[in-house]
């Protein structure tokens, strides 16, 4: 079920700006592959895809990755603290460890449910800026908005060995609400499934008809979606 979250319209302008900048790069770089009209991994929301390995148009994403991988030693504290500490890390690690031995689909569902339990808060209230892509540690201790859910799910799956080339953060237009939105797509048996903080179930992308993707990305590449 969709949730109409106050303040989510702030996303539309900032994602549109990123999309425009990315499209300019597409036009001038000449570094694109051919349109992936029928990729082996299946079509995401039925679109054609143009792939690029240049992630420079997405500093929020690359900046988050740098912060994530450069995280230093954590301080002591309890899990009610607003600063990510050893307690939060132990809680998160214990959850991930509990998934060992389970089938892939059950792992994905468990991570989706676990992180959807985090409280939603807009970036302007949380960080004082319109757009901030939080690390999972920041998200777990201070909550976050739609792309923060997607990032935390991505990194949780990454931590348990889910292949990087089978995951993408996706920025879509929610045509029901008329706003931009961030989600995670994972590929299971070459079919894309969507992990979304607004939808309880994990559904194949082909069964979700109100999302129109602008672009998707992971640590290796980004894709422009058309059609």
**Tens digits of pLDDT across the chain (227 residues):** 233 323 333 344 454 445 444 544 444 344 444 444 334 456 899 999 999 999 999 999 999 999 888 765 667 777 777 667 777 778 888 999 999 999 999 999 999 999 999 999 999 999 999 999 999 988 988 899 999 999 999 999 999 999 999 999 999 999 999 999 999 999 999 999 999 999 999 999 999 999 999 999 999 999 999 98
Residue 79 lies in a domain: no
Residue 81 lies in a domain: no
pTM, two decimals, is 0.82
> CA–CA separation, 219 vs 215, rounded Å?
14
Question: Can you give the CATH number for the domain in which 222 is found?
Answer: 3.10.620.30
Residue 36 lies in a domain: yes
Residue 80 lies in a domain: no
Task: Give the pLDDT score at 137.
Answer: 86
Residue 75 lies in a domain: no
Give the pair of three-digit tokens for residue 2. 């969709």
Residue 2 lies in a domain: no
Say if residue 194 is exposed, middle or buried (CB neighbours under 10 Å; 0-12, 13-18, 19+): buried
Task: Give the pLDDT score at 71.
Answer: 64
Structural domain range at position 59: 10-68+86-226
Residue 78 lies in a domain: no
> Domain total for the chain?
1
Residue 76 lies in a domain: no
Q: What is each CA distance from 147 to 48, 108, 138, 181, 187, in whole angstroms?
A: 23, 17, 13, 7, 18
């Amino acid at each position: 079920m969709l949730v109409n979250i106050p303040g989510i319209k702030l996303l539309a302008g900032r994602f549109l700006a990123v999309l425009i900048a990315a499209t300019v790069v597409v036009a001038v770089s000449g570094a694109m592959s051919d349109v992936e009209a029928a990729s082996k991994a299946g079509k995401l929301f039925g679109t054609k895809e143009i792939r690029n390995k240049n992630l420079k148009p997405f500093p929020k994403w690359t900046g988050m990755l740098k912060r994530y991988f450069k995280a230093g030693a954590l301080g002591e504290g309890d899990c009610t603290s607003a600063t990510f500490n050893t307690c939060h890390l132990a809680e998160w690690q214990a959850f991930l460890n509990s998934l060992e031995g389970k089938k892939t689909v059950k792992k994905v569902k468990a991570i989706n449910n676990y992180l959807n339990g985090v409280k939603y808060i807009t970036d302007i209230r949380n960080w004082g800026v319109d757009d901030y892509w939080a690390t999972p540690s920041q998200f777990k201790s201070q909550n976050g908005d739609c792309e923060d859910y997607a990032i935390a799910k991505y990194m949780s799956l990454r931590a348990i060995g889910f292949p990087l080339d089978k995951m993408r953060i996706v920025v879509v237009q929610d045509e029901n609400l008329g706003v931009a939105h961030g989600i995670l797509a994972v590929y299971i048996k070459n079919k894309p499934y969507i992990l979304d903080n607004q939808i309880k179930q994990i559904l194949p992308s082909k069964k979700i008809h109100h999302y129109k993707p602008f672009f998707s990305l992971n640590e290796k590449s980004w894709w422009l979606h058309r059609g």
